[in-house]
Amino acid sequence: MAQSKNIPDQIGDAIQDALEHQDFTKIQGMVQQGVDAAAKGIGEGISQAAETSRKMYKDYQAFQASRLTLDQEQQELARVSPSRFANPHSQKISGILMTIFGGLCSVGFGATWFVMLIGALMGASALVVPSWILLGLTGVSVGVTVAGGKRLGLVSRFSKYRRLIGASPSFSLTDLAGRSGRTVKGVAKDLAKMIKDGLFLQAHVDTDANTVFLTDSAYQEFQNNLEEEAKKKYRESVRQETVSKKERPLTDAEQETLRQGRQVLTQIKAVIPGLGSPDTEKKAQAICTIAESIFNRAEQDPDVIGNLDQMVDYYLPLTKKLLDTYTELAAQSLQSESISTSRHEIEDTLGTLVRAFTKLHNSLFQEMNLDVSSDISVLNAVLAQDGLTDDPFDKKAGNK
């Protein structure tokens, strides 16, 4: 298969043919075709070059932006490092020295101990005590070597943590563990050790929050937010409790208790006009007034009805019985000494009952008073939090 000729060869053939046949009409078409092909090739080359240039410029811009960000991060890290991170140089040197000297002493003491041990086993009793001493020195030397290695490892991890944390005021323990190749527990333990050794100057580790805070201010802000969140949750729970609190209906047994009590109370009220003694009538009326208040309170808060069994089953019926007896005694035409004594005893007993009913009444309302005081305190705190009243703590601070 013949190879196709390019445009210059075609033009050359056309000129040669025109000279041979004296016909130049084809030359113009071939020249125009060559010019068009060249222009098209140049256009495609320019377009490709422009696209390549645009791509290179975008890559250059991205590189410059990344470099600028890295420079800014390094500048910020250099600015905050003196107040957050200690220089581990001294600990690194001490770790190296401990490892070297501990290792040398371990080898020296260990070899000497081994020689003495052999001598002691062969009967040289004078070497027994020195061999034990050398064994102890060997153990101490090994411990120093291990401690030096651990110190070097801790310094190495500190440098890695510092590089990963950068200038961030706080950092996730999970992220730090993932990037350093350690467990979260191991990272938390490392950080606690580093803080204790003074490598981190302000750091605080909160495992519950899964965070290490690199500055006192960041940790204090976190604590303040926790405290404020706890206050909000408490106040919200109080609001919800206040909104959802409703009086529950009385059970059949509770209704029956109140019915029996009020029934006896009605009977007592009916007896009062015939007592014939203003002082006794006053005591009986006081018992009725207090008992009625107790029953009204029980209807509002059925939970207190369980404390009224003794009152309904014993105290009120006893009061009714005493008043009936007093009425009979007062109706006697002959007021003997025994009748007068019995009446005085009943009057004294009624006084005791008045005090007992009063004490019961106060105990039932004491819880209500505590609830009211608590509600008022919470209300004042919530109003102050919402900016609707002055904060009482601010007032105290201003008065100092």
**Tens digit of pLDDT per residue, the chain (400 long)?**
445 555 556 656 655 665 565 555 555 565 566 656 656 666 666 667 667 767 776 776 676 666 666 666 667 767 878 888 888 888 889 889 999 988 898 888 888 888 877 877 777 777 777 878 888 888 898 998 999 899 999 999 988 998 888 888 888 999 999 998 999 999 999 999 999 999 998 889 988 889 999 889 889 998 888 888 887 777 777 666 655 544 568 888 888 988 999 999 999 999 888 888 889 889 989 999 999 998 888 888 887 888 888 888 998 999 999 988 988 888 887 888 888 898 899 989 989 988 988 988 888 777 655 555 555 665 666 566 555 565 544 444 444 4
For the full predicted model, state whether its pTM sits above 0.75. Answer: no
pLDDT of residue 260: 92
Number of domains in the chain: 2
Residues 181 and 286 in one domain: no
* β-sheet bridge partners, residue 213: 170, 204
Q: Does residue 377 lie within any of the structural domains?
A: yes
166 is a domain residue: yes
Tokens of 271: 């007896």
Do both 207 and 268 map to the same domain? no
Give domain status of residue 33, yes or no. no
pLDDT at position 393 is 44
- Between CA 224 and CA 392 the distance in angstroms is 19
Q: Which residue has the tokens 């959802």?
A: 244
**Within this chain, do residues 291 and 390 fall inside the same structural domain, yes or no?**
yes
Structural domain includes residue 43: no
The reply to whether 118 falls in a domain is yes
The CA distance from 42 to 60, in Å, is 26
Amino acid code (one letter) for 380: N
The CA-atom distances, in angstroms, between 213 and each of 157, 184, 219, 230, 369 are 17, 15, 6, 20, 45
- DSSP 3-state of 205: strand
Can you state the angle between helices 316-330 and 278-300, rounded to 10 degrees?
160
What are 204's strand-pairing partners? 213
Q: Is the residue at 265 inside a domain?
A: yes
In a domain, 75, yes or no: no
SS3 of residue 200 by DSSP: strand
Q: Is 205 found in the same domain as 290?
A: no
* Domain enclosing residue 164, as ranges: 89-215
Shared domain for 263 and 374, answered yes or no, is yes
Q: Is there a single domain that holds both residue 260 and residue 385?
A: yes
- Pairwise CA distance, residues 196 & 199, whole Å: 8
Can you give the pLDDT at residue 33? 64
Q: Taking Cα atoms as reference points, which of 145, 204, 156 lies closest to residue 180? A: 156
Amino acid sitting at position 219 = Y
Tokens 């305190």 correspond to what residue? 377
